[in-house]
Amino acid sequence: MKKYLLAPSILSANFANLGKDIEEVLISGGDVIHFDVMDNHYVPNLTVGPIVLQSLRKHGISVPIDVHLMIKPVDTLIPIFAQAGSNYITFHPEASEHIDKTLQIIKENGCKAGLALNPTTSLNYLDYVMDKLDIILLMSVNPGFGNQCFIPNTLKKISEARKKIDNSGCDIILEVDGGIKIDNIGQISKFGANMFVIGSALFNSHDYKTVINDMRKEIETS
């Protein structure tokens, strides 16, 4: 696996031409597809479901797909998303009655498991499940909508999460989602993140390859 992973988010893509748009960001250097699932209950937005994910797989999208479940409850939908083609599934601890059980369900369905933490959600949720995590997703905006500004206090949280991962000795990806742009991705990586969800900064551009190349340069020189 690459040291750093860029994960274009379909939330900012062109849904009228989704398969082609995703192909273009992958050809331009994207590593993972970030798939945001919102239910208009846990978050105030409604997005896409497993049928869209399955359609992307049938279209020929073969890279890892990182499914971020912003839904409540989560357990019954995990097997459906796994069968549709997920590789990673993350959920919010507030959306689960039993976090350990939900992580187990993800693993039993053949996916890598992760917790997603909102800007004000404590890192303490990680303490008793580090050995069951493959990925930790830190939200650097309030979940629900794209094109928000990065919350600066997230940098401290990234640093603290990186220390927890390093001290645990576990092989866990530290992912950050929200407001990531060319001018801040280097700093975010410096604080310890190694997977970056990129949305409007990429899809609002007319040149995906240049944006991705510039982001990699910022990471490598930070």
Report long-range pairs for 105-109 (Cβ below 8 Å, ≥24 apart): 105/75, 105/78, 105/79, 106/78, 106/82, 107/132, 109/78, 109/79, 109/82, 109/83
**With 80 as the cut, is the pLDDT of residue 101 above it?**
yes
Measure the CA–CA gap between 65 and 72, rounded to whole angstroms: 21
pLDDT tens sequence across 15-43: 999 999 999 999 999 999 999 999 999 99
Token code pair at residue 192: 């310890």
**With 70 as the cut, is the pLDDT of residue 215 above it?**
yes
Average pLDDT value over all residues in the chain? 95
pLDDT on residue 176: 98
Residues taking part in catalysis: 36, 177
pLDDT tens sequence across 150-207: 999 999 999 999 999 999 999 999 999 999 999 999 999 999 999 999 999 999 999 9
Beta bridge partners of 126: none
Instruction: Reduce the DSSP state of residue 16 to 3 states and report it.
Output: helix
Annotated binding site: 9, 34, 36, 68, 144-147, 177-179, 199-200
* pLDDT confidence tier of residue 2, bands split at 50, 70 and 90: low
pLDDT tens sequence across 105-150: 999 999 999 999 999 999 999 999 999 999 999 999 988 776 779 9
Beta bridge partners of 137: 116, 175
Measure the CA–CA gap between 28 and 26, rounded to whole angstroms: 5
Question: Which structural domains are found in the chain, ordered by start?
Answer: 5-221 (3.20.20.70)
pLDDT on residue 1: 57
Annotated binding site for a divalent metal cation: 34, 36, 68, 177
Annotated binding site for substrate: 9, 68, 144-147, 177-179, 199-200
**With 70 as the cut, is the pLDDT of residue 53 above it?**
yes
* 56 touches 19 (CB < 8 A): yes
